[in-house]
Structure 1
């Protein structure tokens, strides 16, 4: 299983709802086995810069590649990119 985690920071707090809505489109793509979009609870004592988190699970790297190639992925990117400052992504195989 591949775990996919992406962190976003918003250019403005006013954009948070629109970012979450745009990222929620990704949950309609059929290739993930689990998908979540959540606002960061910002309770870490050291760092709270991240505003929104995407967490998804995929059966394998082929499913993740199909997810990223889906037209809805491009649409979500088109909507969210102008509203976000930073995007950090990690994909790793779960043990």
Structure 2
């Protein structure tokens, strides 16, 4: 299983909810086994810069590639890019079974 995690920060605090809702459209794309978009709870005392998190689980690299090739992915990227400051992602093969 591939876990896909993406962190976003908003350029302006008032855009956090718009980013979250816009990224929520990604859940309409097939190919994921689990998928969610959430606002950061910001309870970690060491750093709370991240505003929105995208989390997905995919059976394999092919499923993740198909997800990223979907037209909704491109549409969402175009909508969110002007509102975000930072985007950091990580894709890894889970060892949790």
State the alpha-carbon separation in 1 of the partners of residues 19 and 93 from structure 2.
Answer: 27
2:75 equivalent in structure 1:
75
Structure 2 spans left out of the alignment, 5+ residues = none
Q: Unpaired runs of 5+ in structure 1?
A: none
Q: CA deviation at 1:29?
A: 0.2
Structure 1 stretches of at least 4 aligned residues deviating more than 4 Å after TM superposition: none
CA-to-partner distance for each residue in 1:53-81, whole Å, 9 max, x for gaps?
00000000000000001000000101100
**Counterpart position of 1:11:** 11
Tell me the distance in 1 between the aligned counterparts of 2:40 and 2:83: 16
Q: Paired residue for 1:36? A: 36
- Residue 54 of structure 1 pairs with residue 79 of structure 2: no
* Distance in 1 between residues matched to 2:17 and 2:88, nearest whole Å: 19
For residues 17 and 6 of structure 2, the distance between their equivalents in structure 1, rounded to whole angstroms, comes to 17
1:33 partner SS: strand
What SS is found at the alignment partner of 1:4? strand
TM-score when scaled to structure 2? 0.96
Report the RMSD for the aligned CA atoms in angstroms: 0.5
Aligned to 1:21: 21
In structure 1, the residue matched to 2:89 is 89
TM-score (norm. length: structure 1): 0.98
Corresponding pairs, count: 95
Query: Offset at 1:17?
Result: 1.4
